[in-house]
DNA sequence: CCGACTACCTGCCCGC
DNA sequence: TGCGGGCAGGTAGTCG
């Protein structure tokens, strides 16, 4: 699930528990996730304070006392669960009822547990193990392997029609692939690309080059796309944030609120644009599902 | 460099 | 009820 809004929601949920808190012990239960953990992973965190919990695109970045940054990516199925110091569950379990039904063995796919000095525990669960964790020098964050070629933050001022036009100018890929490419804009995924293109009334099959006029200047399509991307992410973060107010009422783990999507997952259903008589279609692009209304998205 | 494709891994849902 | 196939929110590596 985790695209930028979900990762931001997770960050906001973890921040009050982890930020400024010392890590007493790190329980690393397997040698790798998608990639091997770095050498001495647990030891490089244990006994140190988490100074700040930030985010870059879909990555969580925890500044660890001493100068290293703990980088965490949730892949497709990564989740965090918080157990508060009192023992009460402050974040919902990865699977509802998991602890109640636990017969004594370790819950499956709980790969890393951060035991905090406050007594709270933060558990990383990831069935598919497409997520990963790494430790990098905090001073070289932007030049590290993960971030060096990464594009702009879509919620920053860097997202501008001039930027889109310059990047998309003369590209032969379609808009869907262009927006999914983290080297241009970092943080959009399959769902929010579909949703942003719907809001901008642009066909996902149109070439990315349509955002520029041939000389790298923005077209009206680029002008429409910028606020559509911003709004879809902002709305999703707001919706995710609302689930954080009462952890126990949500039936998903931290940040896994099922947003009310307007096209994603709505194949065969009527287009929600007022006055549009179209129907949402599903096509495959770059091996992944795209949902859109061919009637109002041009 | 670009663009297209594949691999990685488990779980779930559907049809037979 | 079991089994095979397809699908799932991501990225990195390879190949032409």
**Average pLDDT of the residues in A141-159:** 95
Nucleotide B6, nearest residue via CA and C1': A287
Residue A94 pLDDT greater than 50, yes or no: no
Question: So which residues of A are the catalytic ones?
Answer: 2-3, 58, 288
Helix, strand or coil, per DSSP, at residue A133: strand
Distance CA A27, CA A38 (A): 14
Domain housing A234: 161-293
Task: Give the tokens for residue A105.
Answer: 């063995």
Residues A16 and A114 in one domain: yes
Contacts of range A273-282, beta carbons closer than 8 Å, 24 or more positions apart: A273/A201
Look at chain A and report how many structural domains it folds into: 2
Indicate the average pLDDT of chain A.
88
Q: What is the pLDDT of residue A41?
A: 98
Residues A174 and A202 in one domain: yes
DSSP state of A210: G
pLDDT tens, A114-140?
A: 999 999 999 999 999 999 999 999 998
Q: What is the pLDDT of residue A286?
A: 86
A245: pLDDT confidence band, cut at 50, 70 and 90? very low
Q: What is the pLDDT of residue A241?
A: 62
Q: What is the pLDDT of residue A1?
A: 65
**Average pLDDT of the residues in A24-50:** 97
Tell me the CA–C1' distance in angstroms for A158 and C9: 25
- Residue A11 CA: distances (Å) to CA of A48, A74, A124, A175, A214: 19, 12, 13, 29, 40
Residues A166 and A138 in one domain: no
In degrees and rounded to multiples of 5, residue A176 shows phi and psi of -55, -55
Nucleotide B4, nearest residue via CA and C1': A286
Distance CA A150, CA A141 (A): 11
Residues A167 and A249 in one domain: yes
A170: pLDDT confidence band, cut at 50, 70 and 90? confident
A40: pLDDT confidence band, cut at 50, 70 and 90? very high
- Residue A130 CA: distances (Å) to CA of A73, A91, A109: 8, 22, 12
Q: What is the pLDDT of residue A251?
A: 34
Residues A108 and A12 in one domain: yes
Q: Which of residues 164-193 of A touch strand C (CB under 7 A)?
A: 180, 182, 189-191
Q: Is residue A128 part of a domain?
A: yes
A243: pLDDT confidence band, cut at 50, 70 and 90? low
pLDDT tens, A10-35?
A: 999 999 999 999 999 999 999 999 99
DSSP state of A251: S
Residues A213 and A165 in one domain: yes
* Residues across chain A: 298
SS3 content of chain A, % helix, strand, coil (to 5): 25, 25, 50
Q: What's the pTM?
A: 0.92
Q: Is residue A270 part of a domain?
A: yes
pLDDT tens, A175-194?
A: 999 999 999 999 999 999 99
Task: Give the tokens for residue A21.
Answer: 């808190």
Q: Which of residues 123-142 of A touch strand C (CB under 7 A)?
A: 128, 130
Tell me the CA–C1' distance in angstroms for A173 and C15: 18
Nearest to A266 by CA among A285, A288, A292: A292
**Average pLDDT of the residues in A219-224:** 97
Q: Closest nt to A75 (CA→C1')?
A: C10
pLDDT tens, A246-257?
A: 443 333 355 455
Q: What is the pLDDT of residue A105?
A: 62
Q: Closest nt to A178 (CA→C1')?
A: B3
Tell me the CA–C1' distance in angstroms for A261 and B6: 29
Residues A131 and A9 in one domain: yes
Alpha carbon A42 to its chain's center = 24
Choose the final residue of a domain: A116, A143, A170.
Answer: A143
Q: Is residue A153 part of a domain?
A: no
Which CATH number does the domain housing residue A261 bear? Answer: 1.10.8.50
Q: Which nucleotides of B are covered by protein (CB under 7 A)?
A: 2-6, 8-12
């Amino acid at each position: 699930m985790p695209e930028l809004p979900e990762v931001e929601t997770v960050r906001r949920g973890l921040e009050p528990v982890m930020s400024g808190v010392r890590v007493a012990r790190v329980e690393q239960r397997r040698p790798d996730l998608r990639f091997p953990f770095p050498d001495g992973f647990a030891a490089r965190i244990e006994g140190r304070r988490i100074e700040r919990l930030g985010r870059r695109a879909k990555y969580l970045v925890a500044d660890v006392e001493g100068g290293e940054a703990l980088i965490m990516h949730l892949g497709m199925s990564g989740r965090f669960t918080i157990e508060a110091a009192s023992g009460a569950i402050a974040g919902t379990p990865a699977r509802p009822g998991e602890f109640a039904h636990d017969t004594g063995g370790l819950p499956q796919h709980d790969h890393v547990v951060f035991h905090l000095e406050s007594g709270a525990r933060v558990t990383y669960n990831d069935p598919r193990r497409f997520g990963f964790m790494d430790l990098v020098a905090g001073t070289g964050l932007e030049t590290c392997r993960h971030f060096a070629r990464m594009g702009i933050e879509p919620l920053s001022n860097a997202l501008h029609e001039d930027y889109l036009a310059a990047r998309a100018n003369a590209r032969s890929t379609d808009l869907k692939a262009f927006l999914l490419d983290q080297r241009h804009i970092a943080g959009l995924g399959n769902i929010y690309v579909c949703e942003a293109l719907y809001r901008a009334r642009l066909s996902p099959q149109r070439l990315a080059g349509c955002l520029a006029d041939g000389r790298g200047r923005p077209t009206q399509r680029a002008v429409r796309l910028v606020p559509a991307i911003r709004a879809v992410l902002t709305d999703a973060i707001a919706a995710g944030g609302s689930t954080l107010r009462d952890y126990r009422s949500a039936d998903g783990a931290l940040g896994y609120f099922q947003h009310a999507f307007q096209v994603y997952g709505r194949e065969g259903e009527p287009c929600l644009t007022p006055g549009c008589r179209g129907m949402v279609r599903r096509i495959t692009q770059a091996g992944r599902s795209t949902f859109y209304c061919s009637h109002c998205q041009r």
